[in-house]
Structure 1
Amino acid sequence: MVTAMMNPMAATTGTANMGMGMGMPMPASMTPNMVMVPRCTMKVEKCAGGMKMTCVCDDPAACTMMQNLCAMMAGGMCSVCCTMNGMTVCCCNMTMAMCKCEMTANGCCLTCTSGDKMCCDMIQACCDCIMGCMKAGCACCVMMGGTPVCCCMC
């Protein structure tokens, strides 16, 4: 799949096995866990009560994969992680929001809202942060329940 990005899903690195002898196979529990994540175009905007993220895939296979991941992970906590040069710039966890995922013809739309004024302000502050990171050239990864569902390079 041309429109997919590799995303490390474990905190282990190659340095974790420094004490092991040369030529010995690394146990499965110590190998980095990687997952293919669909690449998309993401638009983030404020809306009444919170924010809205629209993820669009041009590739039909990537779109189907993203929609399946969203359907499987629906109901899990939504978060957005922005990175630049492999380092995390910000990670917004929508613990204060009710996140709803709707499928579109070529992707999905995540709406994170809250009826509480203070929570709405936090959600919209996260929206501003994500938009600023995207404008600066960060790679952003949308996760549901801790599982990446789509990534974009802006």
Structure 2
Amino acid sequence: MATSMMMDRASMTGMGNAMPMGMGAGMPASMPNMVMVPRCTMKMEKCTGGMKITCMCDDPTACTMMQNLCTMMAGGMCSVACMLNGMMVCCCNLTMGACKVEMTKDGCCVTCTSGDKACCDMIQGCCDCMTACMKAGCTCCLMMGGTPVCCCMC
């Protein structure tokens, strides 16, 4: 699928290449934990009470895959990881607000908001940080429950 990327889930969650307990001496120290992630166009913007992340796919197959992932993972912690040259630049865990996922005709829209002023400021600060990372050329990956659901090559 030309509109998807291969991502290593372990490096996204901070687990690195840790050896699982119980691995025998003959087993490789690192077992890849790869997943195909739909490639999309991602837009982040501030809104009243927080921020809105819009993911759009041109390819109908990638769009359906992303929407299915979002539907399955909805309700889990929402986070965005920004990567540059294979290294994580920043990861914003949006735990300080309530995240709501809505399907659109060409993707999905995740709205993270909070009624608390301090939490709203943190969410909007994350929006500013991730927008700056995308403008600088970072790859951004939207995750739900630690599972990548879409990725943007800016």
TM-score, length of structure 2 as denominator length: 0.90
- Equivalence for 1:82: 82
Gaps of 5+ in 2: 11-15
Match 2:17 to one of 9, 12, 29: 12
Q: For each residue in 1:20-50, what CA deviation from the matched residue of structure 2 results, as whole angstroms up to 9, or x when unmatched?
A: 5xxx5638xx411000000000000000000
CA distance in 2, matches of 1:2, 1:93: 29
Gaps of 5+ in 1: none
Alignment: residue pair count:
145
- Equivalence for 2:46: 46
Moved over 2 A (4+): 24-27
CA distance in 1, matches of 2:18, 2:60: 33
CA distance in 2, matches of 1:116, 1:151: 29
The question of 1:103 aligning with 2:108 is answered no
- Equivalence for 2:28: 26
Q: Which is greater in Rg?
A: 1
The amino acid that maps onto 2:32 is P
CA distance in 1, matches of 2:51, 2:39: 21
CA distance in 2, matches of 1:96, 1:46: 15
- Equivalence for 2:123: 123
Percentage of pairs with the same residue: 72
CA distance in 1, matches of 2:35, 2:18: 15
CA distance in 1, matches of 2:88, 2:51: 21
CA distance in 2, matches of 1:92, 1:25: 34
CA distance in 1, matches of 2:77, 2:18: 26
Matched-pair contact (CA < 8 Å) for 1:13–1:32: no
CA distance in 2, matches of 1:25, 1:95: 37
1:71 is paired with a residue whose SS is helix
Displacement, 1:148?
0.3
The amino acid that maps onto 2:17 is T
